[in-house]
A and B are shown apart, each in its own frame.
Chain A
Amino acid sequence: MRKILPDLCLVAAMPLLVYSVHRVFLETPNERQMGTAFKIFFFHVPMGWICMLMAVVCGIAAGVQLRRRSTMGAAVALAAAEMGFVTGLGVLLTGPIWGNATWGTPWTGDARQVTTALLWLVIVAYLLLRHYGPRSSDRLAAALAIFGAVNVPIIYYAVKLWKTMHPSTGVVASLPSEMWASFWPALAGLLLCCLGLLGLRIRQLVLAEELDAAWVQAQDPA
């Protein structure tokens, strides 16, 4: 069951994503003030949440990797960082489009924008260190992931002190029911898709490691 869980997630995600696209673009009415641009919300917010989730998963897995020198921990941390990179990029691309239509400017330097951008930079730094770092850089990368996860609330609070004009979390709660009905399928579809890809990538990384170990053993049977 555990082995086919990622495939099941992807299979479940496909109809959900198709349904959510249909619902968002054909059945959900336009928002009064923002118009069509508001439809980005249904993909932008879930991607933002998933990016944060992946950063936290990466930090926790990195902690397990450091504590127990676990192969699985290292694989989960790397896979979560890669998913965080993709979803973070999605947030950073869709956010300015929405912001430009709503505020008249793509970038306002608002707390949540800056936090997401910096979190994404930490994820990129983690991936660069994992791929191009020296020997034993995996431990260093794990420490970076832990610091990155700890940094998220701190950056958010610091920038909030500075200035903020982003919609508060209350906006999501105040959505009318028909918009909620379009939001949840989009969130579920994207989350299942990400979890499926995460599972597949973890499996691939662990297999690659086992293959490497088998090759080393074959080279030196003694």
Chain B
Amino acid sequence: MRVLRQALLLLRSELRQELRDFELLLTASFFTVVLLAMFYLSFASLQSKAHLAAIPGLMWLTIAFVGVLTLTRVFDREREADTLRALLAAPVERLAIYFAKAAMTLAVLMLCCMVLVPGLWLMFPAGAAFAEQPLATALLALLGCGGYVAIGALFAAGLATGAGKNTLLFIILYPLTTPVLMYALVTTRALLDHHPDLPAYLGQMAALDLILVSIAALLFETVLVGGGPRSTSPKGQVRRTLSREPSA
């Protein structure tokens, strides 16, 4: 309960900061529109059968691209002011920081989905199924983005605590978020096909999100500040870990 209350407080602070200049919301939604326009120019001439196969890929590729942009920016703010360290030193549960950052990123991605899904529907006639099943579409977007953010927030935070090398987020995130994106692809195709197993797919996505959030939450503190005692050599001397982190 304490974690939830602290996470809500941190999220409120994030939202307040965002509402001052709308930087994240504007850049992410503009990037979504740009991607939509590029996809339209590339694929509009294809047959409608090909659109049906392409829409899931277009949707989740856009989320993957916009997600990295958002995650980078969410943690860049902390990095520029060096406030992540202050936040870690503050009497706040580390888990609350993770949940607040993840919720903020999820909120931005959901807003992008509000631009993306109608855009796909308008540009490609095969996307009409989105409008026919708005609840399932909203749930699909929430679960897909949720799983992506669960992993992304952990690694973006880990990179933000180091100096520079933020570009590595692209290298880490795309291979790791593939399971979520694959599931989202399968479920989106089931939604467009009006497949009877759609609720089962959505249930599996929810279970996958739960697993990913649990693992990320378990690892968050250890990744950011380290954990456990240092191993000792047989002679009892403290040995450094096999890393480039400075010795204590």
Residue numbers of A with Cβ under 8 A of B are 65-75, 78, 118, 121-122, 124-125, 128-129, 132-140, 142-144, 146-148, 150-151, 154-155, 158-159, 161-162, 205-206, 209-210, 212-213, 216
Contact = CB atoms under 8 A, between A and B. Distances in A.
B211 A150 contact: yes
Contact of A68 (B159, B164, B229): B229
B165 A71 contact: no
Interface of B: 151, 154-155, 158-159, 161-165, 168, 171-172, 174-176, 178-179, 182-183, 185-186, 201, 208, 211, 215, 219, 222-224, 226-231, 239-247
20 contacts: A66-B223, A67-B228, A68-B231, A69-B229, A71-B231, A71-B239, A73-B231, A74-B241, A74-B242, A118-B178, A122-B176, A133-B165, A135-B244, A135-B245, A136-B243, A136-B245, A147-B176, A148-B176, A150-B211, A213-B240
Contact of A138 (B171, B208, B227, B242): B242
B227 to A, nearest CB: 7
Given A125-B175, A137-B168, A158-B179, 10 more contacts: A66-B219, A71-B231, A132-B165, A134-B162, A134-B165, A139-B224, A147-B176, A147-B215, A151-B179, A154-B179
B228 A66 contact: yes
- The interface residues of chain A, by DSSP majority, are classed as helix
Contacts of B219: 66, 143, 146
Contact of B159 (A118, A125, A128, A134): A134
B175 A118 contact: yes
Contacts of A144: 155, 172, 176
Contacts of A73: 231
